[in-house]
Amino acid sequence: MVTSAVDAVFDKSYRLYPNPTTSALFIEWQNPLKNGVVQLVGSLSQTLSQFSIPENFTNLNVQVADLPQGIYFVKIISGERQMAILKFVKQ
């Protein structure tokens, strides 16, 4: 059970790769999300894009080629609950 965003960062049931990346980012999680959403977030906490996750999916392929180089975050949300925050580098 994730009790805070800090715990979520270290939760091994969520992962993304390759990291760093230049064009595509693959995001995986162990259990299907209910009303799942994945958000790409900039370094100033601004939501850059958001993707709805179909029921029973446990992965997502996101194209990030159009993002400038920098550090970004992925927020994984199930319903109203934030499940994980993962950091990645766009080269």
Partner residues linked to 14 by β-bridges: 29
* Contact criterion met (CB below 8 Å) for 10 and 86: no
Looking at residue 27, what is its pLDDT? 96
The string of pLDDT tens digits covering residues 51-83 is 999 989 999 999 999 999 999 999 999 998 999
Domains of the chain: 5-90 (2.60.40.3080)
Q: What is the pTM of this model?
A: 0.83
